[in-house]
């Protein structure tokens, strides 16, 4: 089997990829993740997923390299990782009673022949109406400061949701496994 490389240091993406029971290594690509002026969320995540995979191609010349990137969008504004309690609280207050659309870019690069597959997988979260006390309890319990949108859907964050919409719930965590399996099959990888 070809060497599989995840171009990420994210433990969330590593945990998701391990569900496929394929051996893989991971390595953090060093790229600038700044959005270009006027760049749409969809274009941004596709571009960054591709750049993450491409950044490691020369170091891993005979690998299938997976790149992924995600942004959350609320009212046309891209939400970054909050990093602090106060910013997370502001994000969740802004999302209360509304919807946040997540765009997850995915790229699979065959570094041996340069073949690249790229996709953007959308997913929408509809939030319950949240008061400050509930948000503060959640943030103290989960501390999701490294997560776009300020919640962990795979944990207690699910209690903040009224509903979800999308073809692949794993895209919400940051690595759309359904689309990735399609790409791996196209690259000749047997899954399972």
- Alpha-carbon 23 to chain mean position: 20
Measured CA angle at 176 (ends 65, 140), to 5 deg: 110
Q: Single out the catalytic residue among 25, 32, 62, 69.
A: 69
Whether 32 sits among the annotated catalytic residues: the reply is no
- The H-or-E segment that residue 59 falls in is none
Residues 6+ apart with CB under 8 A from 25: 3, 4, 5, 6
Rounded distance, CA 158 to CA 190, Å?
32
Packed helices 132-142 and 85-95: angle between N→C axes, nearest 10 degrees: 130
Alpha carbons within 13 A on the beta-carbon side of 133: 0
DSSP 34: P
Catalytic site residues?
69
């Amino acid at each position: 089997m070809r060497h599989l490389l995840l171009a990420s240091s994210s433990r969330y993406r590593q945990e998701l990829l391990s569900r496929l029971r394929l051996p893989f290594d991971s390595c953090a690509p060093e790229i600038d993740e700044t959005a270009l002026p006027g760049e749409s969320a969809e274009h941004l995540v596709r571009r960054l997923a591709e750049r993450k995979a491409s950044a490691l191609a020369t170091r891993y010349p005979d690998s299938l390299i997976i790149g992924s990137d995600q942004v959350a969008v609320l009212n046309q504004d891209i939400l970054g990782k909050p990093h602090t309690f106060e910013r997370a609280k502001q994000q969740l207050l802004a999302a209360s009673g509304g919807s946040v659309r997540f765009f997850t870019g995915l790229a699979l690069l065959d570094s041996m022949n340069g073949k690249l597959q790229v996709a953007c997988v959308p997913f929408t979260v509809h939030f319950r109406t949240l008061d400050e006390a509930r948000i503060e309890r959640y943030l103290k319990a989960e501390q999701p400061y490294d997560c776009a949108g300020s919640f962990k859907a795979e944990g207690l964050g699910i209690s903040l949701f009224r509903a979800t919409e999308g073809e692949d719930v794993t895209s919400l965590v940051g690595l759309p496994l359904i689309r990735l399996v399609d790409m791996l099959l196209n690259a000749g990888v047997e899954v399972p």
